[in-house]
Structure 1
Amino acid sequence: MRLARLAPPDQDRPAFFARLEGAAALVYDGPPWLGGKTTGEAVAWTDVDLVCPVLPTKIVCVGRNYAAHAQELGHDVPVEPLLFLKPPSALIGPGQSIELPPESHRVEHEAELGVVIGRRCKAVRPEDALDHVLGYTCVGDITARDLQRKDVQFTRGKGFDTFCPVGPWIETEVDPAALRVRAIVNTQVRQDGMTAQMLWGVPALVAYISRVMTLEPGDVIATGTPQGV
């Protein structure tokens, strides 16, 4: 199932959630992670714009979750997940422009699998973690690498407005351990990896993060990026 958030080009109504089926978008009465259901209305989703499909309270990111990426940056492979946060103000949707901050001279791409939480979870076990997941989406962890290295932490270098493109929709029926992660920049393939290469898979990450902070419905986990930045 594909769940999207759509906005009419003329903005004559607010953005709305929908389930995509073929050329039709079946309109929901609210966010799917809050129990939104179809209203009976259907529109052609090619007549509306795809916008960011998530409205999270937080975006939890995992650093260096692929060994080869840690090594290409000159870091040791971590022994436990390395967590940081992106602000919701960094979110943009498909087709929106990433704004390059003038104080940075090296902005890099990081393609990642995004996990969208469907049920509130706190201190869940890995074997129960996927019961709390609504689905999966694409995340770009855009990074001002020079500022990250200068600051020796992640907040500024990864927190600029527009530094977290997400979308185009949420997929609910995929295997998170068997997905390809690619980044294409100006027609050139820069990253090409598999989620099976992650040091910690989705169940382990959801369980680990939920022991640190409560994950609310609609929250997003960015699971790390393969080599190639």
Structure 2
Amino acid sequence: MIGTRSHYLADDDEALAAITGYVLVNDISERTFQKERGGQWLKGKSAPTFNPCGPWLVTPDDLGNAENLRLWLDHNGVRRQDGTTADMLLSTAGIIRHLSRFMVLEPGDLINTGTPFGAGKDLNPPQYLTPGDTLTCGADGLGQQHQTVTGARREQTA
């Protein structure tokens, strides 16, 4: 989570200084919205119950090295994702620096940094979430989350 207003950060030290804490986020995606409705990918990540955060915010001093945290997700009790933040394409500081070039980062902003391989869309055959599925995810030092998938509300048409 960003703690200070930041724009055009020059180096890793400035980027890391902008962080007030780290929080576990389950980056849920609505693939139909992303694939079949055109436009930006973001719309599939913006439903009201998506992006659950918690269970707590951990300060950088308490967390320590955020660049090698183990991340995992179980889908219906089966481990689907297991990796570390060391596997990310960009470091945490690199992600923040990059974003600060295109937007002003404000206190309270959350930046999802990515997910280990194994998301349902990447499996062969793809496996998507359905109502009743359970998800449990966690990260070293950031705790665990549990979700049960519910049915989506359908669009109202006139």
- Fold match (TM-score > 0.5): yes
Cα distance in 1 for partners of 2:36, 2:113 equals 24
**Which of 1 and 2 has greater Rg?**
1
Provide the secondary structure at the position in 2 that maps to 1:206: helix
Match of 1:194 in 2: 84
Provide the secondary structure at the position in 2 that maps to 1:129: helix
Cα distance in 2 for partners of 1:194, 1:178 equals 6
Cα distance in 1 for partners of 2:11, 2:72 equals 26
Aligned residue type for 2:48: D
> What pairs with 1:73-152 in structure 2 (closer than 5 Å)?
116-127=1-12, 128-152=14-38
Cα distance in 1 for partners of 2:11, 2:55 equals 28
Match of 1:207 in 2: 97
Match of 2:58 in 1: 171
Contact map agreement 1:141 1:164 (CA 8 A) in 2: yes
Identity %: 41
Provide the secondary structure at the position in 2 that maps to 1:193: strand
Cα distance in 2 for partners of 1:223, 1:151 equals 25
Say which structure is richer in strand: 1
TM-score (norm 1): 0.48
- Cα displacement string for residues 63-96 of structure 1 (whole angstroms, at most 9, x for unaligned residues): xxxxxxxxxxxxxxxxxxxxxxxxxxxxxxxxxx
Contact map agreement 1:126 1:206 (CA 8 A) in 2: no
Give the ranges of 4+ consecutive aligned residues of structure 1 lying more than 4 Å apart after TM superposition. Answer: none
| Structure 2 unpaired stretches of 5+ | 120-158
**RMSD of aligned residue pairs (Cα, Å):** 1.3
